Amino acid sequence: MPNTIDGFLIGNAQDEKNLTGATVIICKDGMVAGVDVRGGSPGTRETDLLNPVNTVDKVHAVVLSGGSAFGLAASSGVMKYLYENGVGFDTGFVKVPIVCQCVLYDLPVGEKFAFPDEKMGFIACENAGNSFEVGNFGAGTGATIGKIKGNPYTMKSGLGYAKLFTQNGIEVAAIVAVNALGDVYENSKIIAGCLGEDKRTFADTNKILINLKQEKKWSGENTTIGAIMTNANLTKPQMKKVAQMAHDGYARAISPVHTTLDGDTIFALSTAKVEGSVDIVGQLGALAMQQAIVNAVKSAKSVENFISYSDLISKQ
């Protein structure tokens, strides 16, 4: 299991039968935070707080979850957990936990309609620690990729993670749940995505789009959601820049990406422990995000009718 950067706790909770889940990132002392929402179909909570001109400087948790808009209920459980543990923004009357969230659409994947709720959010907090599972866990439980031809040609994805270091003590990590319309690439080659008719090779989503004779009607069922974590001491505006730069990792690993059918969102979070450069952290964030996306695909396990990377490779 991967380990977090010191100061961050990460926890997962999931419904393995109905294929949905939630991942929570907690920093009880608060995190300097920014966000960049690129997709055209986002589902988010409290992202306006992260505008650099707004008052609150730190957040206490970020939730990544399935369930589409229904899954925003998971944050209520996170709020409850943090409140019960004395974590939050001190208003002088009560401590109010600042919890941000983004969601992906996994509703048609499991056996029946289900979504992360308050209970699941609370359990994810109880499970939070310095190490955690990737693949079919948390927000990656119901994640799939390569959806342009529908479920029969879609592959299983999951939750991924990667961490990088510099020689002067800066640490940058990325966590991501990959639920994209497009295909995932490694070294300029498709490694997961929309399958061809033989279910062994790839159809190549870009080629399908190029050859469409008329625009197809899709709904916003796709989204890649993630977060960059660092110990670098950066300001709130600088963390927004880090979130923006981290989207380069999406673009390097997923194609097409940032469509009107995606809700692509990245949070950037810092414990502000060591001095650091926004450009270095942003570049490392993009690299870590690119690696985390590949990790999400390679860590996933096949479920129901959705084949994983590892099982597809064994058939080739």
Q: How far apart are CA 301 and CA 147, in angstroms?
A: 17
Percent of the chain that is helix, strand, coil (3-state, to 5): 30, 35, 40
Q: How far apart are CA 27 and CA 204, in angstroms?
A: 40
Q: How far apart are CA 308 and CA 108, in angstroms?
A: 18
pLDDT tens sequence across 45-104 = 999 999 999 988 899 999 999 999 999 999 999 999 999 999 999 989 999 999 999 999
CB 291 within 8 A of CB 246: no
The model carries a pTM of 0.95
Fold classification of 9-315 (topology level): L-amino peptidase D-ALA esterase/amidase (3.60.70)
Residue type at position 293:
I
Show the tokens assigned to 44. Answer: 């988010």
List Cα–Cα distances, 69 to 78, 136, 224, 232, 275, in angstroms.
16, 21, 15, 32, 37
Longest dimension (CA), the chain: 63
Show the tokens assigned to 271. Answer: 């414990």
List Cα–Cα distances, 76 to 27, 72, 87, 110, 179, in angstroms.
17, 8, 14, 23, 23
Pairing mode of beta strands 265-275, 223-233 = parallel
CB-count burial class (<10 Å; 0-12, 13-18, 19+) for 91: exposed
What is residue 217's predicted lDDT score, i.e. its pLDDT?
58
What is residue 150's predicted lDDT score, i.e. its pLDDT?
87
What is residue 221's predicted lDDT score, i.e. its pLDDT?
66
DSSP 176-226: EEEE-SSEEEETTEEEESSB-TTSSSB--HHHHHHT-SSPPP--S-BEEEE
Mean pLDDT of the chain: 93
What is residue 10's predicted lDDT score, i.e. its pLDDT?
98
With tokens 């009880």, the residue in question is 28
More confident residue, 213 or 134: 134
